[in-house]
Structure 1
Amino acid sequence: MKELLLGNEAVAQGLYEAGVKVVSSYPGTPSTEITEAASKFDEIFCEWAPNEKVAAEVAAGASFGGARSFCGMKHVGLNVAADPLFTMSYIGVNGGMVFGVADDPGLHSSQNEQDSRNYAIAAKLPMLEPSDSAECRDFTKLAYSLSEDFDTPVMLRLTTRVSHSRSIVEPGQRQELALKPYIKNPAKNVMLPAFAKPKHVSVEERTKKLAAWAETCEINKIEDNHSKTGVICAGIVYQYAKEALGDTVSYLKLGMVNPLPAELIKKFAATVDKLYVIEELDDVIETFCRKNGIAVMGKDVFPRCGEFSQHVIRRCMLHTEPETLAVQEDVPVRPPVMCCGCPHRGLFFALKRAKVFVSGDIGCYTLGASAPLSAIDTCVCMGASVSGLHGFNKARGTESEKKSVAVIGDSTFIHSGITGLIDIAYNRSNSVVIILDNSITGMTGHQQNPTTGYTIKGDPTSAVDLEALCKSIGIARVRVCDPYNLKETQAALKEELEADGPSVIISRRPCALLKYVKHKPSLVVKEEKCVGCRACLSIGCPAISMKNGKASIDRTQCVGCGVCTSLCAKGAITTEEAKA
């Protein structure tokens, strides 16, 4: 039975068919659905780890134990997992181990466009890159064979379009594998310098063998269309090129993007007069070609930044533009906003009123940087809000401590905020950290995390007590406020900024989109009381707009959170019953 699967779902199908036993990941768009889909197979133990480093180490431990394992992450998550990644390259595997990483050209949901192929090169690990869902399944299974045959972790690189597009997959049966025996072997598994030095030599020898395999493997293939123009590409770019150029060029489609096959590329280059390398982001393949004396056109023709498309390839190679129906009028932009009833809105309004420096973090609450709230000053990476606030205050002194805070979500705090808070307590800055506890990992689509009390499968488990945790690491002042209650939130913020010593405010209210949250009836505006002052617009709620000079509330969007009522000095915003 053929199925239409997301690329991420197809990877999960590949994990199932390959006999994988342990999957540990941290959710991150565009990789999240791999682990969510894998969790539906009872034969696979799946978990959400606190962060990507932990996930990689769990997968490494399962490999030591003789099981096939997987850890999945987005490209910036690979930065967090880099420490075990590099050392596992030296160690190798017992059971096969695969790192799945999803890059995000175009920054659809990310803070940078890094190209994970650079990690494969730096860590000297083989990397496969599928171009559609069928290859996602097939390359995943192949990765485990390579892992065990060459004693190496294998990296599987996807991009947003491969992860989130659908194509036909014909699912197969699971290969049940017995655990490989664990044999004590410090020279292989303990990376002391004396053991690591010869392992580096082994890694270089392994790379040579993998490069030789890449020369003849089926996933690196020439498509000869008897053209004097050739294109080298991989992944989703192959699909773009095929649609843009058709059979007018010949192709060298690379399924293994590290190590690259020098002789195969030379053989292909000899058949054409003009050779293009089309690759998103960095010039990895192009640089390899030039290093091996192969003349190519690459980033001198194609852009270095952003996501490619059929149109980009046509424009750069053929200098043509597609025929499109142009929109005659200027269409207003529609930037992302926090949802109606988002618990973070009231908190950010309070921060804006307080006129404080806000060290921000990664999550849906990062939208607090947008107008009209405009409440976040910085955003670097997961956990950086807490550490960054400490550094900001140490640089600027006591006066700054009374006018600055950090904001961080509950899942992000568990991911990498705890150590920053320990630094604040240990190295004594009077910093105020606000944990935005919305009872879920919201940004990536409502995944459980260690604070929610449920596993990835929805089974009850222990939940981190944030108040107790903060106190245990040396934060004496810990308090909870309800961000729907502006008066309470503003009072908490004022008192903690004025207090001596570090403190934590937990802004606690479940995400408005959680299924179990029961909303109040929508609010309405008494037009006779509304004076059109627009104060209610200052919180940026999508349900509130102006019509004929009066405030108006869209009852299909409003969840009755009541934050806007405290902004209306005329009492024009009320319930349907009160209006009647």
Structure 2
Amino acid sequence: MADKKLMLGNEAVARGAYEAGATVAVAYPGTPSTEITEFVAKYDEIYAQWSPNEKVALEVGVGASFSGARTMVAMKHVGVNVAADPLFTASYTGINGGLVILAADDPGMHSSQNEQDTRYYARSAHIPMLEPSDSNEAKEYVKEAFELSEKYDTPVFIRLTTRISHSQSLVDLYDRVDVPIKEYTKDFKKNVMMPGMARVKHVVVEKRMNQIAEDCNTFKYNKVEMNDTSVGVITSGVPYQYVKEALPNASVLKLGMVHPIPKKLIEEFASKVDTLYIVEELEPIFEEQIKSWGIKVIGKEIFTVQGEYSANLIEEKISEHNLNLDTPKQLPVRPPVMCPGCPHRGVYYILNKLKKHATGDIGCYTLGALPPLEGIDTCVCMGASIGMLHGMEKARGKEFIKDWVGIIGDSTFVHSGITGLVDIVYNKGISTVIILDNSTTGMTGHQDNPATGKTLKGEETHVLNLVQLANSVGINSVRVVNPFKPEEVELAIKEETMKEEPSVIIASAPCELLDKKRKRVPYRINVDACKNCGMCMKLGCPAIQKKDGKMMINDTLCSGCGLCAKVCKFGAIVKDGE
């Protein structure tokens, strides 16, 4: 009998790669997928790394697969956008060693800027996709995906969602299967996608998908559970769990393979139930395809395309006796806010003071858009801050752009900001870019990146020098400032934005949460000296509070960064004990 362990879905995925005999795992961190590769890194049998972005990660994965190794590549849903270029062509080339791509969608946008549905990518790229509904399935689907990849000569997607990635359930543990690396054979007709070869391979891809579409009618993870035939539900992933809770007596067709979907199996199931519902989070992908076959179903006319589903929602929409249900009480919401001691706070404070605008980017520093700092104007996607800044300059002119800066984190800059900086130099821009260098990838949980000098496995490596990099692409004016010194930051922003050449300011200070052992001496407010002017509140620090009409600092939250003391004009904020 197999051992059992309670695992997060992401941990179970890592275990699946281990048990399947994977050799290589590559990723760029992005919630909700980040922990997958962190857990993989604990297995010495698998080489694991962070790549600078998802495109590079998938290219590394394709190379490892071509060489014969079973390979897994993980990313969040918006990362698939970045990886789309190699993705679509890898569908044509096929694989050598199995290639499994984990894509974690984020219904409800817990940590994302959109709610895109990765099933569209599976359909568009002609790549099969599996979707587990609990942690044990997550592990088993990874193993199955490697088998399918090698059987059909194709990459295979596994779609996770936040709820699966970050929920725990019991997992059956098995030993690792020893899968030798396959022999590499040169084959330019298969692996070199020039137009002549690609035209031939497109025909192969279509034939492959037709075969999978036929075979998936008997795929073991597409399961029919016949109960009360008055109501039937077609579903997949975590909504399957909600359906089972909300409608325990309903007949259910659970799709483990979500692209392609089994036409014959669905037609047979539909013929046996009186009323058929489609329960799928986000887009009506099943619904549209099934309706196109002439099958009558009820889906998005009663269900939303937004956010996560729940058992209560499903019962409310389908059940005839839901009017007396008690709705769950809402828990208090923790407002999004930068941590006490965050090095980004000082930069935003100065930008606000100077009435400067900023194109923003993806990371924990995006929170600087909120009151009271209101430090950035825009946020679209990874790396967009620099390109958008340049676009504004070319649209509105040099005088307009002197009131603007671009804001980007160190990890995001490496991910997709460097090319934007090259663009500014090449096209004779004069924009100022501020790199918020906090020595980590903060938002996703402190992962290393090329600028930190550590690999995913914790090994020492070359440290990417951001000053030298900026110089090397043609930025002559580069200066490093301490974000906890407001006067220094203010002078740098004033001077650099007025220059008739492109410039880079690197605000360098480590994330407050990196050094857990640092002794932190909190600050306090001398009530006799305090004028209640509220200047310290403009920092937006959660440790600074107003109680009974008086300003005070919560010493359990204060990190001791001292920024508030520097902005207080009356010397009312002092270090505890002074």
State the match for 2:487 in structure 1.
487
CA distance in 1, matches of 2:523, 2:317: 53
Q: 1:406-436 deviations in whole A, cap 9, x for unaligned?
A: 0000000000000000000110111000000
Residue identity matched to 1:410: D
Whether 2:326 is the aligned partner of 1:323: answer yes
Q: Residues 66 and 179 of structure 1 are in contact (CA less than 8 Å); yes or no, is this contact kept in structure 2? A: yes
Aligned partner of 1:228 in structure 2 is 230
Check 1:326–1:79 CA distance in 2 against 1; reply closer, same or farther (3 A cut).
closer
Q: How far apart, in 1, do the equivalents of 2:404 and 2:519 lie?
A: 33
Counterpart in the other structure of 1:290: 291
In the TM superposition, residue 402 of structure 1 has moved relative to its aligned partner by 1.1
Residue 550 of structure 1: how far off its partner (Å): 1.8
Q: Cα 1:231–1:50, aligned 2, differ >3 Å: closer, same or farther?
A: same
1:497 aligns with 2:497: yes
Q: Which runs of 5+ in 2 are unaligned?
A: none
Within a 5 Å distance, the mapping from 1:8-407 to structure 2 comes to: 8-247=10-249, 249-318=250-319, 320=322, 322-324=325-327, 326=329, 334-407=334-407
Q: In 2, are the aligned partners of 1:280 and 1:307 still within 8 Å (CA)?
A: yes
Name the amino acid aligned to 1:382: M
Counterpart CA distance in 2 for 1:546 and 1:286 is 53
| Deviation string, structure 1 residues 39-63 (Cα, Å, up to 9, x no partner) | 0000000000000000000000000
Off by >2 Å, runs of 4+ in structure 1: 324-327, 331-334, 515-520
TM superposition shift of 1:324: 4.3
What per-residue deviation string (whole Å, max 9, x for no partner) do you get for residues 89-143 of structure 1?
Answer: 0000000001100000000000000000000000000000000001000000000
Aligned-partner SS, 1:53: helix
Q: State the secondary structure of the residue aligned to 1:227.
A: strand
Partner of 1:378, secondary structure, is: coil
Q: Residues of 1 paired with 2:342 and 2:284: CA distance? A: 42
Which whole-Å CA distance do the structure 2 matches of 1:517 and 1:236 have between them?
A: 40
Q: TM-score, normalised by structure 1?
A: 0.98
1:511 to 2:503 alignment: no
How far 1:208 sits from its partner (Å)? 0.9
Deviation by residue 1:286-328 (Cα, 9 ceiling, x = unmatched): 011111111100001111111111111011112626324657x
What fraction of aligned residue pairs are identical, expressed as a percent?
54
Which secondary structure does the structure 2 equivalent of 1:24 belong to?
strand
Q: How far off is 1:518 after superposition?
A: 2.5
Structure 2 partner of 1:4 = 6
String of CA shifts for 1:1-31, please: whole Å, max 9, x gaps.
2100000000000000001001110000000
Q: Partners in 2 of 1:43 and 1:400 — Cα distance?
A: 55
SS at match of 2:258: strand
- Partners of 1:405 and 1:325 lie apart in 2 by 45
**Residues 325 and 365 of structure 1, relative CA distance in 2, 3 Å threshold:** closer
Closer/same/farther in 2, CA of residues 55 and 544 from structure 1, 3 Å limit: same
Cα displacement (A) at 1:178 = 1.2
Q: Aligned-pair distance for 1:577?
A: 2.6
In structure 2, the partner of 1:436 is 436
What is the SS of the residue equivalent to 2:173?
A: coil
Deviations 1:168-198, CA, capped at 9 Å, x for gaps = 0011111111111110100000000000001
Provide, for residues 242-297 of structure 1, a one-character-per-residue CA deviation record: whole Å limited to 9, x for no partner. 011112x1000000000111110000000011000010111000011111111100
CA-based RMSD of the aligned residues comes to 1.2
8 A Cα contact 1:51 1:415, kept in partner? yes
**CA distance in structure 2 between the partners assigned to 1:254 and 1:19 by the alignment:** 26
Partner of 1:454: 454
Deviations 1:419-475 (A, max 9, x none): 000000110111000000000000000000000000011110001000000000000
Distance 1:483 1:161 in 2: 37
SS in 2 for 1:406: strand
- DSSP-derived class of the 1:577 partner: coil
Distance 1:489 1:116 in 2: 41
Structure 1, gaps ≥5 residues long: none
SS at match of 1:228: strand
Cα distance in 2 between the residues matched to 1:342 and 1:217: 50
CA distance in 1, matches of 2:562, 2:259: 55
Write the deviation string for residues 348-387 of structure 1: whole angstroms up to 9, x where unpaired. Answer: 0011111112000000000000111011100000000001
* SS at 1:286 equivalent: helix
- The alpha-carbon distance between structure 1 residues 46 and 393, as it changes in their structure 2 partners (threshold 3 A), is same
Amino acid across the alignment from 2:74? G
Q: For residue 557 of structure 1, report the CA deviation from its aligned partner.
A: 1.1
Give the letter for the 2:292 counterpart: K
Deviation at 1:515, TM superposition (A): 2.4
- Are the aligned partners of 1:519 and 1:559 in contact in 2 as well (CA < 8 Å)? no
* Alignment: residue pair count: 574
Q: Within 2, Cα distance between the matches of 1:280 and 1:299?
A: 10
Task: After superposing the two structures, state which structure 1 stretch, 360-369 or 220-229, moved more.
Answer: 220-229
